[in-house]
Structure 1
Amino acid sequence: LEKVDPYRAKIMPVYTVSQVTRYIKESLERDALLADLWVSGEASNVARSAAGHTYFSLKEENTLMRCVMFKGGSGGEHILDGSAVSLHGRMSVYEVRGDLQCIADIVRPEGMGERSLELERLKVQLEAEGLFEPSRKRSIPSFPRRVGVITSPTGAVWHDIQNVTGRRYPLAELVLAPCQVQGDNAAPTIIEAFDAMNAEPDIDVVILARGGGSAEELWPFNEEAVARAIYASKPPIISAVGHETNTSIADMVADLRAPTPSAAAEMAVPDSRELNERIVFNA
């Protein structure tokens, strides 16, 4: 007997993306549990729009859920990065991107999340030990010959630092110690990079850099071991982690903080054009 292909025997309908997304959304909103529930977790990636809406994530260890509280919701002032909250809302799908999200209408504070509490504890400890002390911070050499860079070798950050340094002060040699800049294995590789820099001869200054990212992605730069590696560095350190609004423990321990990796390169080397103009002016 000839086998019958079930897909040929019964022609299956083909749905559009919007049809499938809308079906998932309607299914979620019909579910009695998901349409009226309380959820607890730690708020992160908080962003407030000009229209008064609050977008954030609720996380628990390795699980993350996108959330939104529209203008007029109750308790939006409690949604802060690192705060542990309980929210009431309903699960839905944002059809434009197909994102699962919780639409919150009430938020109550539960105190600080465990990770943020640990961060505050570590800040107090390191400050008491003198790692943040301004008087111990070293000056950056005016005319460095060898500039160390600790960052990912594949990201835009390394490319930007090369461009800025080459344009401003091509006499400086860049020495890269590659590392991971996010994830569970990032902190050990950053520490290994500092060990490599300390073993490298004649490094005048080191740039520790990473581009912008979420609180979770920037977390390796809040690790105690990374802070102590910065403190123990032989050359002075310029830290450029994330954007100007991000402040990590690495920034607080470093000898100098830059708002961006490109700005760190500008701080590390002089501008040769300005130097030439001074020479001509004083001649």
Structure 2
Amino acid sequence: MSQTTPLPLIAVDIGNSRIKLGEFPTRTADGGLPQPTRTLQLSTPTWEPVEIALWLAPQKPKDFQWLCGSVNQVAADKMRAWLADEAGSGDVRFLENDQLPVAVNVENRNAVGIDRLLAAVAANRLRPPDCPAVVIDVGTAITVDVVSREGVFCGGAILPGVEMSAKALHEYTDRLPQSKMSELGEPPPALGTSTDEAITSGLYWGAVGAIRALIQQLNQDMPVPPLAILTGGTARRVADLLEVPARYEEHLILSGIALTAAKLA
């Protein structure tokens, strides 16, 4: 009697600014971190189902299993409704925090953003045995989280991303302009000779300095130096500025979803 071959996976990371999708093969390889064979990035506020349909073509949503992690309820509801129409009774799941294969030591597991826990799932595949990890996600918000040497998510710190900080500077002052800076790109000069340049410098180097300081403070409470893992849109550039060994993983959260799918299978 033949067994039905599992469908390939579409992992969906629904964030506050972006939605990221990645296709993973039917079976997740043991040992390394699974990587998507193709990806799609959408704007959370403006995405349309046709963008996903064109990316999948000629295949259809029902040709895949879907596993979604979301921190944006409005976008998740829209995705859920579209998949209900297009995938029908197919394999579509939206993850809850208690379904993830990672131990947690925080006050309230269910209050933690699922993206942070999915990053911890992936970090546990990357870190050496008996080595803790610090996971830095540079997004709408910047999170700096600890995974212990035993593989336990221990919490961390959350601070505003540069676009959020730029908006606050403009809205809470009378004369400061709205900075066009939306992410951590190429390092600007620290000395700004105009208001715009000064804001860009403060936003950029303030964020990098905060990440550095948090890593240093967290290191003090660890028995051995941690592996620093960065993810997020422009985190690759930040990795070179942290003055600690750091590894960049572009699709860390999507990989965490793929690892979770393998555990749930």
Structure number with greater CO (CA < 8 Å, separation at least 6) is 2
Q: Greater strand percent: which structure?
A: 1
- Shorter-chain TM-score bucket reads under 0.3
Q: Calculate the TM-score normalised by the size of structure 1.
A: 0.25
Q: Calculate the TM-score normalised by the size of structure 2.
A: 0.26
